[in-house]
């Protein structure tokens, strides 16, 4: 496993850059929520836990800013669905029964 750079937050996404490749999770803050619409992890990052690191960085930011999460991205949805301790972070309008 390669040592990966830290996740960097910009105004519109969380990203990891390595050897010219960029993995990122887009986000938008709207009111009391943070929306995660799209995540891209290039094949060059496959199997290195990059997607997980992006999701964890996004969720840590949401928690620090007291934002509810709107996981429109399937990767974020799947990550949260497997972790009941995170379900309370999801905006009530986005929760499934």
> What is the pLDDT at residue 97?
52
Give the pLDDT mean for 62-85. 96
Diameter over CA atoms, the chain: 42
Residue 69 has pLDDT above 90, yes or no: yes
Find, among 50, 56, 5, the residue nearest to 23 by Cα.
50
Q: What structural domains and CATH numbers belong to the chain?
A: 8-94 (3.40.630.30)
Mean pLDDT, the chain, rounded, equals 93
Find, among 48, 64, 97, 58, the residue nearest to 79 by Cα.
58
> What is the pLDDT at residue 2?
55
Residue 56: Cβ within 10 Å count: 14
d(CA 76, CA 2): 23
User: Residue 91 in contact with residue 70, Cβ under 8 Å?
Assistant: yes
The answer to which of 5-9, 46-50, 75-79 has the lowest mean pLDDT is: 46-50
| pTM, full prediction | 0.92
């Amino acid at each position: 496993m390669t040592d990966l750079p830290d996740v960097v937050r910009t105004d519109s996404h969380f990203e990891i850059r390595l050897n010219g490749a960029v993995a990122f999770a887009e986000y938008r803050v709207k009111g009391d929520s943070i929306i995660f619409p799209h995540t891209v992890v290039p094949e060059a990052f496959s199997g290195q836990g990059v997607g997980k690191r992006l999701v964890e960085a996004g969720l840590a930011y949401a928690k620090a800013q007291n934002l509810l999460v709107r996981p429109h991205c399937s990767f974020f949805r799947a990550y949260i669905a497997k972790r009941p301790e995170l379900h309370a972070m999801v905006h009530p309008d986005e929760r499934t029964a």
